């Protein structure tokens, strides 16, 4: 399971998040349709999946139904999702 | 999460937003961040393991706090009002520190073997050096603050990056400030409220205007000149501001929110302030250094609802510190450690990510379940409003009966002749301690001692009547308005012996 405080980046847009409250669901956290990676890791640089192009909002806390929570520390064009669900 | 990331977020959102106004200096969030990178480089080059600041603050508080964070060392702003000896003894408790000092306080640290940099020279160096970008450990200590030590030797409270950022992200909505919002900051840099103000306003996207040396006239003038919308004051400041507003009949049309806290405020003063500023939202914030600032808030609506309402329980809330902020749990426990229900007094325990409860040289004092004992005596009402009746250390034990000074103070402050009051216990051969009410009368009035005692006797049990009433021109307080009760009680000893 990802640790609280872990910083993650999107592979396909500028979005960065920090894990405020972790849960197993975050193992499949995606942004812009693509799995997120650790900051500094290689990024695919592919295009944002049009189905997941609804922007991430700077400073917003996103919560899933399992209680996991991430905070957007850099905004981007991709939508955050767990798996393929919005 | 590190405090440095809060600044990165502010820059990422809008690097050109004016973030800090301090004297002639005006910095955007982007400029503050560049200076913090430069500052980190200066700190790293010094090889220091800790950064200490002695000065009045302004831009130096956010700048040094973020520079230290990016250099991966802890930061301690010290109380510049202490004696040179006091400052040196606190510095001696910190590991290999770099001292950054306002030029006027340079003499204070003249005898030190440590590296000393003038604050202005630090700023100049931060502008020119090759910047360093570090990534602090979120679990690491960001800020070490010394408690005021009004009752004991000052303790060094360690606040981690996680403690501080949990408080900020839990209580402040990012970029929530409106475009014209401006905060006036006059709380001292060495106080947790100063640390909290710098972080929360930056995160909210609210311009900060610093007033390092408080003066009520200057405060009122700056409100108009800078179009201040939000301000935070300690009780002594509120008292002086109200005096100026009453006398000069000035208005503060831009001000929307006024927060007060730091120590207890007498209700007549709160009512007068509410009356003089009918369009201002008042906020009473309660917190401790050990809890990374505010843990309970009495909101503007709570204030207005409590004013002039018939329901006694609601009216009473004007004297409460409100309800816990998100992420904070509270419990009231009796002497045996049992959690008590609404209306029952006991010691306040708090728990949450923002609660540190760690002291240098002592370690964590949290219990096994993560609860922190505040040493404050408190009650909760049925709706969860928190009432603080004082420090457990201040409890007077007279003839075996525990008496909270606040009980008497709350009654005495409502007497029209009383401007300020502190009730303390002094040694007494018969009772163990006797009750002394130290009263600062309303200007130009010499109250009748017996009348004041009678005023208390009418409201409280006979054993709570002050044994003595003495008059003073002012009460001894520290820089944030906290009454120095120990000093006050010590000064009263000879008087008691004579009796």
The domain spans of chain B are: 3-317, 395-489
Q: What is the ipTM of this complex?
A: 0.83
Residues of A in contact with B9 (CB under 8 A): 58-59, 73-74
C-alpha B307/C-alpha B317 separation (Å) is 9
Residue B48 token pair: 């220091």
Contact B345, B332 (CB under 8 A): yes
Lowest pLDDT segment from A82-86, B140-144, B166-170, B399-403: A82-86
Q: What is the interface size between A and B, counted as CB pairs within 8 Å?
A: 33
Q: Of B27, B25, B26, B32, which Cα lies nearest the Cα of B8?
A: B32
Question: Mean pLDDT over residues A46-71, rounded?
Answer: 90
- Is the Cβ pair B1, A20 closer than 8 Å? yes
Q: Is A58 on the interface with B (CB under 8 A)?
A: yes
Q: What is the pLDDT of residue B493?
A: 66
> Beta-strand (E) ranges in B29-172?
50-54, 74-78, 97-101, 115-118, 141-146, 156-160
- Is the Cβ pair B9, A73 closer than 8 Å? yes
B60-79 tens-digit pLDDT: 999 999 999 999 999 999 99
Q: What is the pLDDT of residue B498?
A: 41
Report the gap between the CA of A85 and the closest CA in chain B (Å).
Answer: 26
Contact A75, A56 (CB under 8 A): yes
B 191-210 → A contacts, CB under 8 A: 203
Q: What is the pLDDT of residue B401?
A: 87
Intrachain domains B3-317 and B395-489 with the same fold: no
Q: Of A56, A25, A37, A39, which Cα lies nearest the Cα of B5?
A: A39
Residue B478 confidence (pLDDT) above 90: no
For B169, the closest of A58, A71, A75 (CB atoms) is A71
Q: Is B137 on the interface with A (CB under 8 A)?
A: no
From the number of C-beta atoms within 10 Å of its C-beta (0-12, 13-18, 19+), residue B343 rates as: exposed
Residue B402's pLDDT band (boundaries 50, 70, 90)? Answer: confident
C-alpha B179/C-alpha B437 separation (Å) is 48
Q: Is B89 on the interface with A (CB under 8 A)?
A: no
Q: Of A15, A9, A7, which Cα lies nearest the Cα of A53?
A: A15
Contact B382, B313 (CB under 8 A): yes
Question: Mean pLDDT over residues B32-41, rounded?
Answer: 97
C-alpha B319/C-alpha B307 separation (Å) is 11
Question: Mean pLDDT over residues A39-46, rounded?
Answer: 88
B280-313 tens-digit pLDDT: 999 999 999 999 999 999 999 999 999 989 999 9
Residue count of chain A = 86
Residue B496 confidence (pLDDT) above 50: no
How confident is the prediction for chain B on average, in pLDDT? 93
Q: Of B161, B188, B280, B285, which Cα lies nearest the Cα of B228?
A: B280
For chain A, the three-class secondary structure string (H helix, E strand, C coil) is CCCCCCEEECCCCCCEEEEEECCHHHHHEEECCEECEECCCCCCCCCCCHHHCCCECCCCEEECCCCCEEEEEECECCCEEECCEC
Question: Mean pLDDT over residues B28-43, rounded?
Answer: 97
Contact B387, B343 (CB under 8 A): no
Handedness of CA A23, A28, A34, A37 (dihedral sign): positive
Region B395-489: CATH code: 3.30.300.30
Chain A residue with Cα closest to B172:
A59
Q: How many CB atoms lie within 10 A of CB A45?
A: 8
C-alpha B401/C-alpha B392 separation (Å) is 14
Task: Give the global pTM.
Answer: 0.89
Interface test with B, best of A59, A61, A73 (most B CBs within 10 A): A59
Which CATH number, 3.10.310.30, 3.40.640.10, 3.90.230.10, 3.40.50.12780, labels domain B3-317? 3.40.50.12780
Residue B243 token pair: 């005096």
Residue count of chain B = 499
DSSP, res B448: -
For A58, the closest of B138, B162, B175 (CB atoms) is B175
Q: What is the pLDDT of residue B499?
A: 39
Handedness of CA B425, B426, B429, B432 (dihedral sign): positive
- Residues facing residue B323 across a β-bridge: B297
Name, in order, each residue with C-beta under 8 angstroms of A85's C-beta and a sequence gap of 6 or more: none
Q: Is A53 on the interface with B (CB under 8 A)?
A: no
Distances (CA, A) of B413 to A2, A66, B127, B270, B455: 55, 51, 52, 12, 11
Distances (CA, A) of B453 to B407, B424, B435: 14, 15, 11
Handedness of CA B232, B296, B302, B326 (dihedral sign): positive
Q: What is the pLDDT of residue B495?
A: 47
Max Cα separation, chain A? 30
Between helix B235-248 and helix B216-226 the angle, nearest 10°, is 80
Q: Is A60 on the interface with B (CB under 8 A)?
A: yes
Q: Of B491, B428, B414, which Cα lies nearest the Cα of B460?
A: B414
C-alpha B473/C-alpha B485 separation (Å) is 16
Return the SS3 of B239: helix
Contact B258, B162 (CB under 8 A): no
Contact B418, B357 (CB under 8 A): no
Q: Which residue has the higher pLDDT, B485 or B256?
A: B256
Q: What whole-number percentage of chain B has pLDDT above 70?
A: 98
Return the SS3 of B449: helix
> Beta-strand (E) ranges in B171-217?
182-185, 207-210
Q: Which residue has the higher pLDDT, A41 or B342?
A: B342
C-alpha B132/C-alpha B126 separation (Å) is 10
Q: What is the pLDDT of residue A86?
A: 59
Contact B195, B65 (CB under 8 A): yes
Report the gap between the CA of A83 and the closest CA in chain B (Å).
Answer: 25
Q: What is the pLDDT of residue B25?
A: 95
Contact B41, B439 (CB under 8 A): no
Report the gap between the CA of B311 and the closest CA in chain A (Å).
Answer: 38
Q: What is the pLDDT of residue B290?
A: 96
Cα of B230 vs its chain's centroid, Å: 16
Residue B395 token pair: 């409890």
Residues of A in contact with B162 (CB under 8 A): 5
Q: Which residue carries 């920090």 as its tokens?
A: A18
Residue A61 token pair: 């806390």
């Amino acid at each position: 399971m990802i640790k609280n405080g872990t910083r993650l980046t999107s592979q396909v847009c500028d979005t960065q998040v920090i894990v405020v409250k972790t849960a197993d669901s975050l193992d499949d956290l995606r942004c812009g349709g693509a799995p997120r990676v650790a900051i500094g890791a290689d990024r695919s640089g592919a295009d944002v999946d049009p189905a997941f192009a609804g922007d991430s909002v700077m400073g917003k806390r996103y919560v899933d139904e399992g209680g996991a929570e991430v905070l957007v520390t850099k905004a981007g064009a991709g939508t955050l999702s767990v798996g393929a669900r919005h | 999460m590190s405090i440095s990331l809060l600044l990165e977020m502010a820059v990422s959102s809008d690097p050109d937003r004016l973030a800090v106004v301090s004297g002639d200096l005006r910095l955007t969030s982007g400029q503050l961040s560049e200076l913090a990178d430069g500052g980190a480089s200066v700190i790293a080059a010094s090889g220091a393991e800790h950064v200490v600041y002695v000065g009045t603050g302004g831009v130096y508080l956010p700048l040094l706090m973020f520079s230290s964070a990016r250099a991966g060392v802890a930061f301690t702003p010290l109380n510049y009002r202490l004696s040179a000896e006091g400052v040196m003894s606190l510095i001696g408790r910190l590991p290999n520190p770099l001292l950054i000092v306002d030029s006027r306080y340079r003499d204070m640290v003249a005898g030190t073997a440590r590296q000393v940099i003038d604050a202005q020279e630090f700023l100049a160096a931060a502008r020119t050096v090759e910047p360093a970008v570090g990534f602090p450990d979120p679990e690491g200590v960001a800020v070490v603050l010394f408690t005021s030590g009004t009752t004991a030797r000052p303790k060094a409270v360690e606040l981690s990056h996680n403690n501080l950022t949990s408080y900020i992200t839990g209580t402040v909505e990012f970029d929530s400030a409106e475009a014209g919002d401006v905060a006036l900051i006059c709380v001292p840099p060495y106080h947790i409220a100063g640390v909290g103000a710098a972080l929360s306003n930056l995160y909210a996207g609210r311009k900060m205007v610093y007033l390092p040396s408080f003066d009520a006239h200057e405060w009122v003038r700056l409100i108009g000149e800078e179009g201040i919308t939000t301000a935070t004051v300690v009780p002594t400041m509120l008292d002086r501001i109200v005096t100026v507003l009453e006398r000069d009949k000035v208005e503060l049309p831009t001000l929307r929110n006024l927060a007060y806290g730091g120590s207890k405020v007498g209700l007549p003063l709160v009512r007068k302030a509410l009356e003089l500023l009918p369009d201002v939202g008042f906020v009473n914030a309660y917190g401790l250094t050990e809890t990374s600032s505010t843990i309970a808030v009495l909101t503007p609506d709570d204030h207005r609802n409590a004013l002039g309402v018939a329901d006694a329980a609601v009216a009473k809330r004007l004297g409460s510190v409100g309800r816990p902020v998100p992420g904070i749990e509270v419990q009231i426990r009796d002497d045996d450690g049992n959690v008590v229900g609404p209306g029952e007094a006991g010691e306040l325990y708090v728990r949450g990510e923002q609660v540190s409860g760690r002291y240098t040289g002592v370690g964590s004092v949290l219990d096994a379940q993560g609860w922190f004992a505040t040493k404050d005596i408190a009650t909760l009402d049925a709706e969860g409003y928190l009432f603080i009746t004082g420090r457990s250390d201040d409890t007077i034990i007279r003839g075996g009966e525990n008496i909270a000074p606040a009980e008497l103070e709350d009654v005495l402050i409502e007497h029209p002749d009383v401007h300020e009051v502190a009730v303390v216990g002094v040694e007494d051969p018969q009772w163990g301690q006797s009750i002394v009410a130290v009263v600062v009368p309303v200007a130009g009035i010499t109250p009748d001692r017996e009348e004041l005692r009678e005023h208390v006797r009418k409201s409280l049990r006979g054993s709570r009547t002050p044994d003595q009433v003495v008059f003073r021109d002012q009460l001894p307080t520290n820089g944030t308005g906290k009454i120095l009760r120990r000093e006050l009680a010590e000064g009263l000893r000879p008087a008691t012996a004579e009796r």
